[in-house]
Amino acid sequence: MNNNKNVMESDKLKDSNAIRHEFSIAMSAMYQSEVPLYGDLLDLVAEVNTEVLTQHSEIKEQLEHTGEIDRISMERHGAIRLGTAAELHMMRRLFAVMGMYPVGYYDLAPAGVPVHSTAFRAIDTQALNQSPFRVFTSLLRLDLIDDEVLKKEAVAVLANRQIFTANAISLIERFEEKGNLTLEEGKQFVKEALETFRWHDKTPVSKKLYQRLSDQHGLIADVVGFKGPHINHLTPRTLDIDTVQQGMLAKGIPPKAIIEGPPKRDCPILLRQTSFKALEETVSFKNPEGDYEQGHHTARFGEIEQRGVALTPKGRSLYDQLLNQSREQLGVTPNEDNALEYYQILENAFEAFPDDYRTLHDEGLAYFYYQAVNDSPYPSSSDSELNLDSLEESYSDDSISKQTMTQLIEKGIVRFEPIVYEDFLPVSAAGIFQSNLHDDKQSSYKGNSNQNEFEKALGVHVYDELALYADQQAESLHKCLFRLKYSI
């Protein structure tokens, strides 16, 4: 009987969302043990979030309506940096086991960071709410290294490393063959995959080569100089990043000077990020003779993010325009010395960006969920203001006139709630990277953006994040109209 039970248990399948959730928990525990200050940051974020939800019932209600309330305390994202196209290709396959797919293309070279990137994440609302874990994944652009001799040495170092365990690769191949993993295989996968992201304080390069790599760019040294793509930060989500920034100072956690992204607003948009400054860590550099020489490396840190509503192409265009305007007016890179001046410039510029959800909705600047309100009276045949025949017909093609939707919203029959921005901002990512690498020697790299080459390495096309948000909005409208049709 016991043997039959064991056979039945071994045949049970592990859902990719569950694997992703378990992996994110294991990743957080590992990083907290490696960087204890990150644990202090988690405690601070939890305190601030509890206070916000206690004092602002409208925020709590909004998160309940969108299904986000239970995911706020979950890990939000990590970041890794890869060295070769082969590493990126296998990493894409590894993340696929966890139901994570490449969304968006980010070229950070114009902002002075020699990488291009994507974000691996779940792509539908239900999966995101079950586990919102994502990993911002960058590929080093060796073509941007201007020292040809150093470039060849970097290529040789990267060619000699294997960042995935043999067991991890075997489980990935099994998943691809069968389309799933069993409970035991899922458990083993989490354990094996975690090894790719672990910190190693012994490097495969000499101190001399590390220094030459670092002289080119701190990020190049961080990628080429180590055994694997150690997780360089994990990021919890806060509901009030300004309070967290102040709380970091009060608790002796050294924050970076600038909160990246848009200014503080009543209705948050896109993404705001800050971090504590990267740690200086003792490492051992491998000499050609085989012995080790002690030195230091600075790259790993803790980050915090506050997420707002996703913007439409029209809204994103306005955001980019106002951000560029602010930075051009400041004239230099925002830093500790000009932080207050930059914040004032930014706030003044963003007065041109509407700061209430109704205007953002009506002007088509942001994406929203449409939801039929449970306790509101539905339209009746005597409601002369609404064309109910038109409303019933609209269900077939998910179209509805702006006038009818406005009336439904104003009567409290339909509500709209912000679709949270799940992705990243290249200028903000570059700002976080640069500030924590202490590398401001280069403001930009020459060279064209190369999404085709990046996707060739991936082996697939990246998802268009704006199309995903548009699909989420359309799906919510479909469900809303279906509900209204059968309530008339």
Higher pLDDT, 388 or 357: 357
User: What confidence score (pLDDT) does residue 65 get?
Assistant: 92
**Which band of pLDDT confidence, cut at 50, 70 and 90, is reported for residue 400?**
confident
Confidence of residue 109 (pLDDT cuts 50, 70, 90): confident
The pLDDT-based confidence of 402 (bands split at 50, 70, 90) is confident
* pLDDT recorded at residue 332: 83
Confidence class of residue 249 from pLDDT cuts 50, 70 and 90?
confident
Tell me the pLDDT tens digit for each residue of 49-86: 999 999 999 999 999 999 999 888 886 789 999 999 99
Instruction: Judge whether residue 135 has pLDDT over 80.
Output: yes
For residues 418 and 214, what is the distance between their CA atoms, to the nearest angstrom?
A: 42
Tokens of 356: 């209430």
Rg (CA), the chain: 24
243-266 average pLDDT score: 88
Of the listed ranges 17-26, 210-219, 309-318, 392-401, the one predicted with least confidence: 392-401
Q: What kind of fold does domain 2-308+423-458 have according to CATH?
A: 2,3-Dihydroxybiphenyl 1,2-Dioxygenase; domain 1 (3.10.180)
Which residues, including other chains, have CB under 8 Å from residue 281's CB and lie 6 or more apart? 201, 296, 297, 298, 300
Q: What was the pLDDT predicted at 292?
A: 86
Residue 444 — very low, low, confident or very high, per pLDDT cuts 50/70/90? low
Which residues, 6 or more positions from 218, have their beta carbon under 8 angstroms from its beta carbon? 298, 299, 437, 438, 439
Q: In the prediction, which pLDDT does 385 show?
A: 53
pLDDT higher than threshold 70 for residue 396 = no
pTM attached to this predicted model: 0.88
pLDDT score for 479: 87
Instruction: Delimit the CATH 3.10.180.80 region(s) of the chain.
Output: 2-308+423-458
In the structure, what pLDDT confidence band is assigned to residue 359 with cuts at 50, 70 and 90?
Answer: very high
Determine which of 27-31, 135-139, 300-304 has the lowest per-residue pLDDT on average.
300-304
Would you say residue 436 has pLDDT above 70?
no
pLDDT band at 171 (very low <50, low <70, confident <90, very high): very high
Confidence of residue 1 (pLDDT cuts 50, 70, 90): very low
Q: What is the per-residue pLDDT for 266?
A: 94
Q: What percent of the chain has pLDDT over 70?
A: 87
Mean pLDDT of 76-101: 95
Q: What is the mean pLDDT of residues 284-300?
A: 84
Q: What are 122's two structure tokens?
A: 């779940």
For residue 99, pLDDT beyond 90: yes
276 or 200, higher pLDDT: 200
**Confidence category of residue 442, pLDDT binned at 50, 70, 90:** very low
> What pLDDT score does 382 carry?
47
- Mean pLDDT taken over the chain: 86
What is the model's pLDDT at position 401? 74
β-pair type (302-307, 271-276): antiparallel
Cα–Cα dist 224/158, whole Å: 6
